[in-house]
Structure 1
Amino acid sequence: MHVTHDPAAASAETIGFDQFLAVDIRVGTIVEALPFPEARKPAYKLLIDFGPVIGRKRSSAQITEHYSLEELPGMQVAAVVNFPPRQIGPVMSEVLTLGFPDEAGKVVLFQPTTPVPNGGRLF
């Protein structure tokens, strides 16, 4: 599967609803944000709480342009929670934290506009 970060790219191919349902996107609250100096591109290490069923999961996120370490704890974010874990340098990333590119291609986190229970699934 090829994923593009080019906002001007054409939309992806049409998929069935079952394929959409196979991607488990949940909301969680960042409980810890740490520097990640070993990353090839500037990034933070995040610990995100997805509630009692999924629990706390680790993620690496290239969000240093728009967010400071101090403002991230307590922030709700969306993430894909059913990809296999991925080794990113010395960190095992367990979920893919979601965001959109700004005009310069820097990541802006995808967040609910009002607080929602951790673990809620996107539909």
Structure 2
Amino acid sequence: MATELKDTVSFEDTLGRLDIRLGRVLAAESAPDAPKASYRLTVDFGKFGQRVSVGRFTQHAAGELVGRQVLGVLNFEPREIGGSASEVLILGVQYPGAASGEATFLTPGVEAKLGSKVF
């Protein structure tokens, strides 16, 4: 099902305002109080510290996530999700064949320095 593209926007008003950086998943555990099946991820962003994210990456086994490099938006306001503060949004796309909202994470093609900025 094709959808229309959104209006053209400037870099400065959109991606230029986001602080998207590379991190590594240190821990992944079930987030039992989240409204939908989710993991509570602890992610290391190098000099930007460790942050917690609650996300719907449950098509992956928790152990498969640990050690993986992921991309996260560091400058969104924290969100309360099922009793946990989600401090960073880990970027992902729809997991093939899974229910709406079930995601797989975005990751670089090669290992890169933690905290690296997306540009």
TM-score (norm 1): 0.87
Map residues 1-123 of structure 1 onto 2, 5 A cutoff.
Answer: 8-19=2-13, 20-52=15-47, 54-65=48-59, 67-104=60-97, 105=100, 106-123=102-119
Distance, in Å, in 2 between the alignment partners of 1:73 and 1:102 is 18
C-alpha displacement of 1:11 = 2.1
C-alpha displacement of 1:38 = 1.2
State the secondary structure of the residue aligned to 2:16: helix
Distance, in Å, in 2 between the alignment partners of 1:57 and 1:92 is 10
The total of aligned residue pairs comes to: 115
Deviations 1:39-97 (A, max 9, x none): 11110000000011x100000010101x1111111100001110011111110000000
State the secondary structure of the residue aligned to 1:71: helix
Q: Percent identity?
A: 35
Distance, in Å, in 1 between the alignment partners of 2:3 and 2:57 is 22
Structure 1's unaligned 5+ residue stretches are: 1-6
Distance, in Å, in 1 between the alignment partners of 2:9 and 2:111 is 30
TM-score (norm 2): 0.90
CA RMSD in angstroms, aligned pairs only: 1.4
Distance, in Å, in 2 between the alignment partners of 1:12 and 1:45 is 31
